[in-house]
Structure 1
Amino acid sequence: MDTTARRTLLQKKIAERGSMLVAFSGGVDSSLLAVLAREALGDNSRCVLLDSPVVPREAIDEARRIARDYGLTLDILPVAVMDDERFTKNPTDRCSWCKKNSVVVLKRRAGELGFSCVADGINVSDTGEHRPGLTASTKEGIIHPFLDAGLTKSDIREIARAGGYSFWDKPSAACLSSRIPYGDAITGEKLAMVERAEAFLHDNGLRQVRVRVHGTVARIEVPKEEMHALLDMHAAVAGTLRGLGFSYVTLDLEGYRSGSMDEVLAAGPQENLIE
């Protein structure tokens, strides 16, 4: 099936719903879903971005920009994930507890609007990973149009590229809690340190970066081809991250990889990617 046929099938799946609330993050997957829902359903589509300390402020700013550029109606609503100890204690299934809290807010908003469903950007590529959040959202009735249409992450990026959408090559992002090892409590202080550290690195030209927190040690992951750029500004990086509260600043020589915190598990969950 070519890209045009994939897009046509996806729009058909969306149109069949009649109305749709899109769980929106500003990532590639949810942005494409939101744009196509707007095209297929018009005012019977709407986006909701759930705001909490695990979402970087720069991600919210970017989501607002995409919504503005593509004429999307966007609500930004709070979700109190940090009030749930089942999440903040950081078990290996933390994503399921976050998702359960999120679904309550999303379904309430869909009900207020009289919309038939809540949809997210989950796709075929996600089903090959252990994703507690996916399992929880499916049980709670969230629909997955990309999954229904049999689309992978690469299919989604290709549809977005062919459509000329600016977000088609946007790097994958992930909830800030994924920077903290399982079993270490998730706190507002740790999340803020990670957010500020990664924002500094992004501002200095590194697109794909993770700052993992191991006690007072920052373990930085960037793609191997960007390591030289990071090392060229090592003094500024070390000084800035120490100023944020880290005692030691390290570079992971294996480079960036999604879900590196799961490598200590026999078969653990992947990062909760924000697409």
Structure 2
Amino acid sequence: MPAQHPTVDGLEPAWQQALADLRASIARQPAALVAYSGGVDSALVAAIAAEQLGAQALAITGVSPALAPHLREEAQLQAQWMGIEHREIATSELNDPAYSSNPADRCYACKRELHTLLAEMRDAAAAAGFEAAVVLDGVNHDDLGDHRPGIRAAQERGVISPLAELGISKAGVRAISRALGFPWWDKPAQPCLASRFPYGEVISAERLQRVARAEAWLRQRGFAELRVRSQGEAARIELPPDQLPALLDTQLRPALVTAFLELGFTAVSLDLEGLVSGKLNRALPQP
């Protein structure tokens, strides 16, 4: 029987109820596989699954060149902190032209690959006599109004999105995570590296790794929230507007240009608008 939990100090009543509902929703499941990226949303679902289901909860991270190495490490450390069993599975979405050609619904092919593998894991466990597990993901209520083709792939596989079903927004996820003491409650959104390429521009493992190395170079110099957009062979850097002057420092700028050229980029630019989540989707037809 899942433990009863008191109200959480500092959490407004609406989110208190949302947390209670989330706990009750997950506690009703006999076992759960959590599609876990290490982001704040899936981390909350994984943490509550571990709390309510104990050893019957398992966090699964899909690993491919599109996952930045530092995010893979963070996912591992967070799972240890939560006390949930964590496994990684290799995904092969780059072998699918529906992904590597980078169409507007690229994320559908990615999530189809991940959830096919998760369904196979679930079915194999059931055949071996283990509890019949459901697959949970971290889609939140705000995601339903965004361009998220991957949601359709998850729905086709019967994945449950408890945050979205309970109306828990990104702000709610952060508020609940903060109240529960999760150190990563304010972790910036960090979509996969494939999001750095304009739709229609072919994605390869080599190009993904080049972007990962470029972003790592900046991160090592104190820039925590950033994107390095790859446009052809050129790099375009996005940072929060208040950090733009730091990148133009007379000592840092020459070293940055040299480092990026050595990675194989032919030109480096700074986006004066700054970091805007979802900027890639401006190229899509507007409804």
TM over 0.5: yes
Partner of 2:117: 105
Written as runs of structure 1 = structure 2, the 5 A alignment for 1:223-242 is 223-232=240-249, 233-242=252-261
TM-score of the two chains, using structure 2 as the length reference: 0.90
Structure 1: how far apart are the matches of 2:224 and 2:161? 28
Structure 2: how far apart are the matches of 1:2 and 1:129? 23
* Correspondence 1:96 to 2:108: yes
Q: Which has the larger radius of gyration?
A: 2
Structure with bigger RCO (C-alpha 8 Å, 6+ apart): 1
Structure 1: how far apart are the matches of 2:117 and 2:216? 28
* Correspondence 1:254 to 2:273: yes
Structure 2: how far apart are the matches of 1:62 and 1:235? 30
Contact conserved, 1:13 with 1:148, CA < 8 A, in 2?
A: no
Residue 265 of structure 1: how far off its partner (Å): 2.2
SS in 1 for 2:236: strand
Structure 2: how far apart are the matches of 1:108 and 1:145? 21
Residue 242 of structure 1: how far off its partner (Å): 0.9
TM-score of the two chains, using structure 1 as the length reference: 0.94
* Correspondence 1:244 to 2:256: no
Aligned amino acid, residue 132 of structure 1: P
Structure 1: how far apart are the matches of 2:144 and 2:165? 12
* Correspondence 1:85 to 2:104: no
Identity of aligned residues (%): 38
Structure 2: how far apart are the matches of 1:185 and 1:24? 26
Structure 1: how far apart are the matches of 2:247 and 2:81? 32
Segments of 5+ residues of structure 2 without an aligned counterpart are 1-12, 127-131
Written as runs of structure 1 = structure 2, the 5 A alignment for 1:55-66 is 55-66=67-78
Written as runs of structure 1 = structure 2, the 5 A alignment for 1:150-229 is 150-229=167-246
Partner of 1:267: 286
Partner of 1:118: 135
Aligned amino acid, residue 116 of structure 1: A
Segments of 5+ residues of structure 1 without an aligned counterpart are 269-275
- Aligned pair count reads 268
Contact conserved, 2:34 with 2:59, CA < 8 A, in 1?
A: yes
Structure 1: how far apart are the matches of 2:91 and 2:237? 28
Structure 1: how far apart are the matches of 2:43 and 2:270? 32
Contact conserved, 2:104 with 2:284, CA < 8 A, in 1?
A: no
Contact conserved, 1:24 with 1:47, CA < 8 A, in 2?
A: yes
My pick for the range that moved more, 121-130 or 107-116, is 107-116
Aligned amino acid, residue 18 of structure 1: P
RMSD (Å), alpha carbons? 1.2
